[in-house]
Amino acid sequence: MPEEIKTEVVVLGAGPGGYTAAFRAADLGKQVTLVERYPSLGGVCLNVGCIPSKALLHVAKVIDEANAFASYGVTYSAPEIDIDAVRAGKQSVVERLTGGLAALCKQRKVQVIQGSGVFESANRVRVSGDKKETVVDFEHAVIAVGSSPSRIPGLPYDDPRLMDSTGALALEEIPDKLLVIGGGYIGLEMASVYHALGSEITVVEFMDQLLPGADADLVKPLAKRLGDRFADIWVKTKVVDIKPQKNGLKVSFEGENAPQGGKVFDRVLVAVGRRPNSNGFGADAIGLAMTDRGCVEVDAQMRTSVPNIFAIGDIVGDPMLAHKAVHEGKVAAEVICGEKHAFEPLAIPAVVFTDPEVAWAGLTEREAKSRGVKYGKGVFPWAASGRSLSLHRDEGLTKILFDEETHRVLGVGIVGPGAGDLIAE
């Protein structure tokens, strides 16, 4: 017999959106139950996403800076990399944070249930865990079930040398030759990590530039620096086939610059975007309205088509960013608790943690042009910044887009070392 419990608010998914919603609702006096399918809290971001990747990017940054220090007349010998210790260092960061979350749940008396939650009705969810089943009757629910890596159909996914972001972060080995499919956030961040650890990197990107969502002038300095370091970057190129061989994965391409006859790589990372986890939580059983892309439809208060059920984070669509999910989680919890709040962001910052970092907030020129928004632009090249030159770096740039009549700032874009810190200002 399943255990039966009653709660005021149930939250499905303990990623940054879910745990924020749970904590906020608990702080506002609600009795909260948090359901998570994995034993460790924190979702993709803490376990197999933002946090482990940032830990590894720190390793990459220190290695790269030590190398670059030669321009100041200080040289180190080549680093000795103990891959097991690097992996353990990354994992200790993850465990500290996920363990901290468990403690925060206890402090707030948020009940955590391990298992997959599936709606049976608009007031009941069934949670199937490793050891037991629980039926949770609730007044309000928050769906925060996240997203998963997209796949290119027809590739040999059972070969462990073909990795997604989770596999790449597991850092099983440092391949001699790594192919990264997709020149977006994940592709370029992980390519930077593996490059610093010693891999020869090739990137293929389907569109006509790396980071296709970002403005071309911000991407150019990054593309140049990566172009000097990586073996190849092929834009307007796609992978059509991968054949596992004894000596590696034989990859065939279609595109302007890619080699005819294909090329063999030791490992391949597929980082071609993420898709919402639309299946498996019982959307049909409660008649939830979904978009064509499989996202849950919500209004500005994060309310779904079922009035007592809310949804937040990657499952409601782009941008699939943890800090967006966190804010939406707060909004949903506050609305559930009767506060007048809505998700009305003017500018959601985005940061790509490559070197140089690329960051933007608000309107981009790409969006302004596609929406026909008129704007003025102020640009400051970091070749004139003493702070940047002192790092022996001159490729950065800051630009501000503004309304020419009112001088109101519409958007900001930055590329350069530390752009991700500067964008907050």
- Does residue 356 interact with ligand NAD by CB under 6 A? no
With CB atoms as reference, the residue minimizing the distance to ligand NAD is 184
183: contact with ligand NAD by CB under 6 A: yes
Nearer to ligand NAD, 283 or 322 (CB): 322
CA angle 191, 192, 196 (to 5 degrees): 115
Is position 182 an interface residue for ligand NAD (rule: CB under 6 A)? yes
- Smallest separation (angstroms) from ligand NAD to the CB of 339: 28
The answer to whether residue 272 forms part of the interface with ligand NAD (CB under 6 A) is yes
Q: Which residues contact 185 (CB under 8 A, 6 or more apart)?
A: 211, 271, 352
Q: What residues contact 369, with CB distance under 8 A and at least 6 apart?
A: none
Q: For residue 237, which phi and psi values (nearest 5 degrees)?
A: -135, 145
Largest CA distance in the chain: 72
Between residues 36 and 314, which has the closer beta carbon with respect to ligand NAD?
314
Size of the site for ligand NAD (CB under 6 A): 26
Report the 10 Å Cβ neighbour count for 245. 10
The reply on whether position 319 binds ligand NAD by CB under 6 A is yes
User: Does the protein bind ligand NAD through residue 204 (CB under 6 A)?
Assistant: yes
Q: Which of 79, 212, 294, 362 binds ligand NAD (CB under 6 A)?
A: 212
Phi, psi of 193 (to 5 degrees): -60, -55
Smallest gap from Cβ 292 to ligand NAD, in A, equals 18
Closest contact distance (angstroms) between CB of 185 and ligand NAD is 4
Give the type of residue at 259.
Answer: P
| Shortest Å, Cβ 343 to ligand NAD | 17
Among 119, 185, 281, 360, binds ligand NAD (CB under 6 A): 185
Considering the complex, state which of residue 306 and residue 419 has its C-beta at the smaller distance from ligand NAD.
419
Q: State yes or no: residue 274 binds ligand NAD (CB under 6 A).
A: yes
Candidate segments 75-83, 85-93, 179-187, 410-418, binder of ligand NAD by CB under 6 A: 179-187
Q: What six digits make up the tokens of 382?
A: 């970091």
Instruction: Give the residue, chosen from 253, 281, 353, 360, that forms a contact with ligand NAD under the rule CB under 6 A.
Output: 353
Contact status: 203 vs ligand NAD (CB under 6 A): no
- 189 lies in the binding site for ligand NAD (CB under 6 A): yes
Site residues for ligand NAD, 230-249, by CB under 6 A, read: 238-239
Q: By CB under 6 A, tell whether 294 contacts ligand NAD.
A: no
Q: How is residue 113 written in tokens? A: 């249930």
- Contacts of residue 425, defined as CB under 8 A and 6 or more positions apart, other chains included, come to none
Residue among 110, 95, 85 at smallest CA distance from 27? 110
**Taking Cα atoms as reference points, which of 73, 116, 68, 111 lies closest to residue 280?**
116
Q: Which of 321, 359, 412, 419 binds ligand NAD (CB under 6 A)?
A: 321
Q: Which of 271, 315, 363, 410 binds ligand NAD (CB under 6 A)?
A: 271
Q: Using the rule CB under 6 A, is 178 a contact of ligand NAD?
A: no
Q: Which residues does 322 contact at the CB level (< 8 Å), separation at least 6? A: 15, 16, 17, 45, 49, 50
Q: Find the angle CA(80)-CA(82)-CA(87) to the nearest 5 degrees.
A: 140
The rounded distance, in Å, linking the Cα atoms of 414 and 108 is 39
Q: Measured from the CB of residue 184, what is the shortest distance to ligand NAD in angstroms?
A: 2
Closest CA to 115 of 89, 91, 136: 136
Q: Indicate the residue type of 321.
A: L
Compute the distance between CA of residue 392 and CA of residue 255 in angstroms, rounded to an integer.
Answer: 36
Instruction: State the nearest-atom distance from the C-beta of 151 to ligand NAD, in Å.
Output: 10
Contact (Cβ atoms closer than 8 angstroms) between residue 200 and residue 231: yes
List binders of ligand NAD among 129-148 (CB under 6 A): none
Within 30-59, which residues bind ligand NAD (CB under 6 A)?
Answer: none
Residue with tokens 């962001």: 345
Query: What count of residues does the chain have?
Result: 425
Site for ligand NAD in 148-167 (CB under 6 A): 152
Residues contributing to the site for ligand NAD (CB under 6 A) = 152, 181-187, 189, 204-207, 212, 238-239, 271-274, 319-321, 351-353
